[in-house]
Amino acid sequence: MTEKHIDEATGVATTGHEWDGIRELNNPLPRWWVWTFYATIVWALAYTVAYPAWPMLTSATTGLLGYSSRADVKAELAAAEAGKAQYVAAVSTKSVDEIIKDDALRQFAIAAGAAAFKVNCVQCHGSGAQGSVGYPNLNDDDWLWGGTADQIYQTVLHGVRFADDADTRVSEMPAFGEIIDATQVAQVSAYVATLSGAAAADPAMVEPGKTVFADNCAACHGDDGKGNRDLGAPNLTDAIWLRGEGEAAIAAQVKAPKHGVMPAWGGRLGDTNVKELAVYVHSLGGGE
């Protein structure tokens, strides 16, 4: 088809193609569209010259502006590191109480402490710091050695009954199996069970047990059985048991006591890390 065909209805030339009598109008593209199209081509070419774009044999053209996303990331990382270093420096010079009073610093310390806790503490205290028999729960407000940020810091720094640290927390409950007789053990166990509201298996044991307690136990656990944090002697009235619940467990602890050992972390992790851990543990809910 060589001849130009003009559509009768619109007066516009057609492309000359025909499909079953249907022809396509040959309308020119709108000017604005064409110019925008050219502009995008120019823009794209200019862009590939200004920025890294064309693949070469071993790398790509670097672009006239010298931009590189790797350099960008490097700069951002350096800025983040500098910010972190500033926090770490602040943590290392401030006391745990000062850290807790500074909101930003406290949040930084909690995050860092949580990370360190996952690595160093969960194997004994549990992934949620909930503890288990012999390993205290660190979420509650029942503290063996004290729940202020500074007391927690001291406990973590020096450990408990940890022979390698001269400042470690010490105190041991004597083995009363060799000091009082079996009846007295049963009596005092019955009495201690009632301190947290449990009923004694044999109520007749309770009154004499009270005397045994006053004579042998009150020095550490207190006249009222509420414990003594200077000695790590647990509160016996709160129904939170480190060594198990019930008269049998109490009697076992009285006869041949078990003592928890916690490593000192100051030497291993350094003072700054220990402060972060203390702030984290303090934030768990039982902090005083």
Q: Report the interface residues with ligand HEC, using CB under 6 A.
A: 117, 120-121, 123-125, 134-136, 138, 143-145, 152, 155-156, 160, 171, 173-174, 176, 188, 192, 216-217, 219-221, 231-234, 236, 241-243, 250, 253-254, 258-263, 265, 277, 281
- Token reading at 274: 């220990």
Q: Which residues of 227-236 are buried (b: 16+ CB within 10 A; e: fewer)?
A: bbbebbbbbb
Q: Which is nearer to ligand HEC, 13 or 198 (CB)?
A: 198
Task: Assign residue 88 a region (left: φ > 0; alpha: ψ between -120 and 50; beta: otherwise).
Answer: alpha
Q: Which is nearer to ligand HEC, 59 or 123 (CB)?
A: 123
Contact 97, 83 (CB under 8 A): no
Q: How far is CA 260 from the centre of its chain?
A: 24
Nearest distance, CB of residue 45 and ligand HEC, angstroms: 60
Chain position carrying tokens 């010259």: 49
Residue 204 and residue 244: Cα distance in Å, rounded? 23
Q: Which is nearer to ligand HEC, 121 or 206 (CB)?
A: 121
Nearest distance, CB of residue 263 and ligand HEC, angstroms: 6
Residue 263 and residue 40: Cα distance in Å, rounded? 67
Residue 267 and residue 275: Cα distance in Å, rounded? 13
Q: Which is nearer to ligand HEC, 108 or 176 (CB)?
A: 176
Nearest distance, CB of residue 56 and ligand HEC, angstroms: 53
Nearest distance, CB of residue 93 and ligand HEC, angstroms: 21
Nearest distance, CB of residue 260 and ligand HEC, angstroms: 3
State which amino acid sits at residue 47. Y
Q: Which is nearer to ligand HEC, 105 or 156 (CB)?
A: 156
